[in-house]
Every structure is written in C-alpha cells, then in structure tokens.
Chain A
Amino acid sequence: MSKERIGVYICHCGSNIAGTVDVVEVARWAGETLKERGVVVSRDYKFMCSSLGQELIQKDIKEQGLTRVVVAACSPHLHEQTFRNACKEGGLNPYLCELVSIREQCSWIHSDKAVGTEKAKAIVSGGVEKVIWNEPLEPLRVPINPVTLVVGGGIAGIQAALEIANSGYPVIMVEREPSIGGHMAQFDKTFPTLDCAACILTPRMVEVGSHPNVKLFSYAEVTNVSGYVGNFQVTIKQKARSVNTELCTGCGICQEKCPKKVVDPVFEAGLGYRKAIYTPFPQAVPKYPVIDRENCTYFLKGTCRACEKFCPTGAIDFTQQDEYFTFDVGQIIIATGWDLFDARRIPQYGYGRLANVFTSLEFERLSNAAGPTGGKIVLRDGVTVPKSVAIIHCVGSRDRNYNPYCSAICCMQSLKFAHIVRERTGAEVYNFYLEMRTPAKGYEEFYQRVLEEGTHFIRGKVAEITDAARYPGEEGKIIIQVENTLIGKQMRVPVDMVILSAALEPRRDFKEVARLFGISCSEEGWLIERHPKLDPVATMTEGIYIAGCAQGPKDIPASVAQGAAAAARVVGKIQQKEILMEPIRASIDQDKCSGCRICNNLCPFNAISFIEERMVSEVNPALCQGCGTCVAACPAGAISGTVFSDQAILAQLDGLLLKNVKVLDFTPA
C-alpha cells in the first residue's frame, strides 16, 4: 500500500506510560498489523526523549532508510520539537515526524491496562496514517523587530525593561497609573531583610525614567494589538494629563496650590488624600502630574484654574485630548500585577463596618513614613495608638468560598506587620494563622525572630470579628472569635486593631488583557505560562511573555527573577535577528479556485485577496496564521493547508477508527 518506510517508537516514559499501557504489545501490534501501511520498524524504549532514545531513531533513519517517523509518547506540546530535531539530525526533514500523545491522553487518564493498550493502538494507528501525508517543509523565517513592549511598570516590569534596555535594545513601557512603581512603591519595609522599599525601588524607577533606550508612557493603556511574533503592531492610548510634559519641570507648585482635596483610593489605599492635580507620591516617575478631570473644580464647574495661574512654565493645558500612538514591536512582556481581594466580601470580618479593621495595603500605607500618618501606627481616629493588634492570615485565600489558592506572600507579610507593630508601638500582637508558610531564603529565620519578639501565634481560622461585647473587658474592643485548633478550644481575643492579610487576586480586567494579547488565563484569572515548570515566563502565544504577579501570586524576589527571565528570553530572540515560524500556512490552487470569494471574508487577518485580472483568490503567506478556516470552507477544495491537510486529517481519522487495519487483531499474541 504505502511506499513509505515508517518507524514507530513507543515510549515507556518510565512507568508513566508503561504503567497503564502494555507498550511492548503496542509496539508488536504496530510492527505486525501496520506492516501493510509501511511500518518497517516498531520499537519500544524506556525514555524516547533521552539522548539514547533519539539516537535510536537516528540510527534507524540511516540504517533502515526510514522516510517517516511516528513517536508515541507525551503531548506534542512538550516534545514535538525534540523529536523533530532528532529526525533533522538523522537526516530526515523534521516535518516528516509525528508525535502522538499516549501519555496525557491515554496512560494518565485511565487505570485499566487493557483499555489503555487498545486506545494506544488506535492513537498510534492514527499517527501512522497521518504521517504518510506529511510533507517535507522548511520553517518560515521572519525578521524580528528589536523593540519590546513592557506592559506594567511595577517591579517585575521595571526589572524586565532595565535588563533589555541595558543590553542595548529599545523598550516601550506602558503604565496605567500616573507613575511607575506599582504596589512595591506603596510599601514601607520589605521582608525578610526589612529594607526600605522606596530606598531600593526608586533608583530603579529613576533609571527607567531616564534611560535612553526606554520610552515611557505613564497614565496610558494599550488598546490594540495585532500582528505576530517579531512583528506586532500596538496602539497605545495616552490619556490626557492636562499637563504639557515638555514645559513641566515637576516643581510641584500646582499640587500645593490646588484647592481640591480628594481621597486617594489607589496609592493611599483610601487612607489619605491627594489633590485634583497630583503625582501619586513625591518620587513619582515621570515627575509630571496629571489632572484628575472627574474631581477638578475647573472641569466640574468651569472656574478655578489655580494651577494654571501659579505654574511658572505655563505647562497646564486644559484642552489636551487623549492621544493614540501606534508602534511596531517585536515582542511583548506583560507584567500587569495584581489587585487586592475586597475584604468586604467576607462580611463577618467587619471590614468597612468596623472602623479599626484594616486591610494589608491600608496598613502598608499606615506604617509608611511617607504615608498619611507619617508612619505612626494609629487607629482610624488618627491619634490613638493601639495596645493590642490582631493580624488575620489567609483572608480570601486558601478558602473555597473565595480563592482556593495560597497567596504566597501573606504569611511573610503578616510577620513583617507583627514586627513593625511591636517595634513601633509595643502593642501585643496576635497572629491568627492556618499554617505558617516560610519557604524562601531567610524567611524561616525571620519567623523565628518574630516568635522570639513575643508575638502570639494562634492556629485557627477566624470565625468572626465583632464589636459586640459579651464578657467584661470586651467593651469598646474588637473581639476575634476563633477556635484555637492546637488546644481545641474556642477563644475570644479582644483587640484595638485588626489587620486583614487579604488575598492577591488577578487584576479585575484580566479577561480584557488576555483577550487583547491573545493569551489565556486560568480559571481564577492568572495568565498561563507555556509550561508550569520548564517554561514559566513564555506564553502559548509566541513572542508574548509574562512576569510578576500577573502569572500568579509571588513576592518581590520572585517577581524580579521572573522579570529578568522574561527579558533574557526577549534579548535571546532579538539576537537571533530572525525567528523561525511553523510553516503552517494555507495556499490556494489557482487552477481549482472558482473565484467565489467565500474565503475572502472568512480570514480575520486579511491574508486572502482577490485578484481581479485572473478572477481567483490568493493567500499572502506573511499574513496567514494557519488557522485553516478557509481550507475547511472552500467549496471547490482549492485551498490546502500544510501540516493539517484534508488528506492528513481524514487519514488520521481512518487510523483512529482502525479502518486501515485489515484483520482486526486485538487479542495479545
């Protein structure tokens, strides 16, 4: 039947596959039953992906003159490239190799060995039929634009931008807020070394702001992304600052003179005020303020213009409009960060109802020397120093009602809070925890230190936080009702102040972000990496990388490491100067094309154009992304797609249904 000489290789993957699939039997079956279909070699091997396994294929290509290779192992998303490269090394065009999954889709999901073995046979048979139709192809080469877009100016984005800029390549950074810095800029101290956050962050911010290779857009958003790796087009919306940045010197007189005070819900977490014209904090980068048009008296009532009057350089421009800029970039790093869990969602914890229940971000501002109280830890009245403070861990995380995941930073953050409270106020501190998680360098040591400082640790999930006094000594206090699970007793702990270590959650607009950049997010909303262990910063979409908390909750060292890792990937790609792309493209046979133009409107990339003179359609391979919708729709069958041709898919279908097997031999010999 088939003229091809096909080699079939069944991987044991240790016991991962061999545990529920009789690999020896599958290899024997393929060798005997599929001989008619061109299988000349059929082997099983412990680990096909090992160098010995790969050499086995290469040896057979040379000695047995194989023209096609089928490997039945793990998912093509894991090792397709490995086996293609192995074939290439062996002198076979890499696209003549087919990897079929009998691990993720067979051995791992079944426990019955007989069932698993039969299914594996069908999958191998499908692979053999498909590979006959595979064509030798060469990857497409596309030049890569060296400009990189970094979305998000928190510590992860800053690190990524600096690494790339310092390697000599241009970076465009887009930040939604008026200043870069992200959440780290709000913190006072960072665990476990208690470095002052501003002292280590602001030099980096300044470096980004003044770096000749970085073009910074703050108070801006990405509104459109098109193109593909190496050649993205992005549109950036620069929101109207109402300040001419070419004239502004950042002197701050406008902020001093502005008569309108507004609660700052973002940077001060609702604890402090800012003016209607403002920079979020004194060290802001860039230094130019913005006018909050929703609150500015001039925009509301048409009078005031105090800032304009006092501005020494005439930089205030009330007529400024939103501006849109379009840039060509080669790669994109997304570091959009996180939002804090809304503690109001747990009504029994009293946040928003009981004045002296604070969230972790509020406490960060409260303890920050540049914060609304100048670093004094006081109750909501602004004067009273608490004598006892409760810190509740896992608020909204590790809780099936809210978020099942661990927010990773709360234990250490709560320990930091305990230390700061005791250091500055001498108050009694009670930490209510589920488990202590202090896994990184220096973290456990910090825990021991806080233990020795005399902080009380009570293991138990807090049931209620209330101001309803029941016993003497509880009047005027906030009472924590909890079961101490180490001694198995209910406790009521009266305190003056409560800090809720609230969960880190994905940005509220994660869906729009994922959609805009064409990447996927988990059920909770964290952006998904290409591989959870081996490829933690790339995404499924070539040329788009993720860093920091956008990928999942993590602390500052981990965010920095990820930012740097993403940058390394980007720089590595730029240095290759061109990118090899999968040659999965559609093409139109102009002899068969009837010129009906059905395909023209189906293509979302405008890759198909109609040639009037010849009355046929044509695919532009540079624009085609290879989805295959036009191939499926062409009534004349004139369009074919490489790698996934009609013939290949129909052949695989026949193989899966075992229609290729003349004698249905299912019983082991």
Chain B
Amino acid sequence: MSERFEPVIIGFTCNWCSYRAADMAGMGRIQYAPNVRLIRLMCSGRLDPTFVIKAFAGGADGVLVSGCHPGDCHYIEQNYKAMRRFYLLRKLLAQMGIEPARLKLLWASAAEGQLFAEEVTKFTEEVRALGPLNWNPEAALLSEQVLYRQPAEVAA
C-alpha cells in the first residue's frame, strides 16, 4: 500500500478574522483538509518572520498566514505590515532554497468560513504536490542557533 504524503501545515491566524473564520467553518461542519494546525495571534502584524522560518525548520511543509482583508484590520492597518513581511519572506525563502509556494497569505474575514476551508484544502493539495520539505537537519540546527532568541529566564 503506497502511503499518500500528508503535509504538516502551520497556520498563523488573526484573533479577529481568520481564527473566527476557522470557528465559522467548524460551526458549519464544513469538512476540509486536516493538515493545518492553527496558532492564534492577536493580529497578522504580530507575525515575526522568525515564526515562519522556525516552522519550516521544525518540520512544517507549508505555512499559512492569514489576516483581515486590506482595510478591515482590527488594528487599523497592521495587516499591511504582515503583507510587506510576507512578500519579503517569500523572496528570502527562495534564496534559502525553499519553494516560495510553501508560504501562503490568505485574507479571510470572520464571515468567510467557507472560503477559509476551501483555501486550506487547496493549499494542502499544493503543498502535497510539492512533496515533503525535508529541511536539512544540520541546516535546521544551524538556523535554530541563529534564529532562536534566548529566553531570558527559562521557566522550564
């Protein structure tokens, strides 16, 4: 039996729109690809590019960044800052040898559960077609050293 590749996708969502869109999709019992695991941020502007690199380094095959539609940001205009970072980050990923298509930006309002579900399924198929990322473990280790911010006081 040939196993189908199941990509792991990390989704960064905005508390005000896309996280609620995911809630809406759930409430509507809309079935979509189970491959995405969401992290809730207060705003897509909170997305530190480190998070994305770290996700890839940690084993994610794709990363979804989603926020409010341009002009609808709960914090006035911070989604534009996310958008700026997104385009720069895609270029950076290409330079690092990662297909830029593994990073997706999605605008989804709190009402767009259907859209959110469809786009997640579509993105999952796109990443599936790209295959596993297989980030070089040594490179990953190196990147972790570079990118990990040292916690001031590790509680753990």
A residues at B contact (CB < 8 Å): 1-4, 38, 75-77, 101, 103-106, 108-112, 115-116, 119, 122-123, 126, 132-133, 514-515, 518, 520-523, 528, 540-541, 584, 602, 604-605, 625-629, 631-633, 637, 641, 644, 646-647, 649-650, 652-654, 656-657, 659
Contact = CB atoms under 8 A, between A and B. Distances in A.
Interface in B64-102: 71-72, 74-78, 81, 85
Nearest to A133: B155
B42 A628 contact: yes
Given A644-B42, A652-B39, A656-B39, A632 B111 contact: no
Contacts of A518: 74
Q: Which of A2, A105, A115, A637 has the most CB of B within 10 A?
A: A105
A643 to B, nearest CB: 8
Given A109-B31, A627-B75, A650-B50, 9 more contacts: A104-B22, A104-B23, A104-B26, A110-B31, A119-B37, A528-B110, A629-B46, A647-B151, A656-B10
21 contacts: A4-B155, A4-B156, A101-B23, A105-B22, A105-B38, A108-B27, A109-B25, A109-B117, A110-B31, A110-B34, A540-B20, A584-B42, A627-B45, A629-B46, A649-B39, A649-B48, A649-B51, A650-B50, A650-B54, A653-B10, A659-B59
B127 interface: no
B111 to A, nearest CB: 4
B124 to A, nearest CB: 12
B26 A109 contact: yes
Given A540-B110, A644-B42, A629 B155 contact: no
B85 to A, nearest CB: 8
Contact of A75 (B26, B34, B85, B117): B26
A111 B31 CA distance: 8
B123 interface: no
A602 B74 contact: no
B155 A132 contact: yes
Nearest to B32: A109
B20 to A, nearest CB: 7
A536 B81 CA distance: 33
Contact of B111 (A520, A633, A647): A520
A657 B34 contact: no
A649 B72 CA distance: 24
A471 B41 CA distance: 68
Most chain B beta carbons < 10 A, residue from A633, A650, A653, A659: A653
B51 A109 contact: no
B40 A604 contact: no
A653 B37 CA distance: 9
Contacts of A540: 16, 20, 74, 110
A108 B155 contact: no
B43 interface: yes
Contacts of A75: 19, 23, 26
A38 B10 CA distance: 24
B47 A632 contact: yes
A522 B156 contact: no
B39 A2 contact: no
Interface string B1-45: 000000010100000110110110111011110100111111101
Nearest to A104: B26
Given A2-B155, A109-B26, A109-B31, A628 B43 contact: yes
A644 to B, nearest CB: 6
B76 A604 contact: yes
Contacts of B29: 108-109
Contacts of B72: 514-515, 520
Contact of A628 (B45, B71, B151): B45
Given A2-B156, A523-B112, A629 B81 contact: yes
Contacts of B112: 523
Given A101-B23, A520-B111, A654-B58, A625 B34 contact: no
Nearest to A111: B31
A657 B59 contact: yes
B46 A657 contact: no
B103 interface: no
Nearest to B60: A657
A183 to B, nearest CB: 25
A123 B22 CA distance: 14
Nearest to A118: B34
Nearest to A68: B155
A637 B149 contact: yes
B46 A632 contact: yes
B76 A523 contact: no
B87 to A, nearest CB: 15
A653 B58 contact: yes
A552 B43 CA distance: 27
A627 B42 contact: yes
Contact of B39 (A76, A584, A653): A653
A126 B149 contact: no
Contact of B46 (A104, A115, A644): A644
Nearest to B38: A105
B128 to A, nearest CB: 15
A654 B37 CA distance: 12
A629 B58 contact: no
Contacts of B148: 650
Contacts of A515: 71-72
A521 B19 CA distance: 15
A515 B109 CA distance: 12
Nearest to A582: B42
A520 B75 CA distance: 13
A44 to B, nearest CB: 20
Output the residue of B48, B59, B74, B77 with the most chain A CB within 10 A: B48
Nearest to A541: B74
A631 B45 CA distance: 9
B105 interface: no
Nearest first, the 3 A-B pairs at minimum CB distance are: A104-B26, A628-B46, A629-B45
B74 A657 contact: no
A525 to B, nearest CB: 10
Contact of B26 (A38, A108, A123, A520): A108
B55 interface: yes
Contacts of B43: 627-629
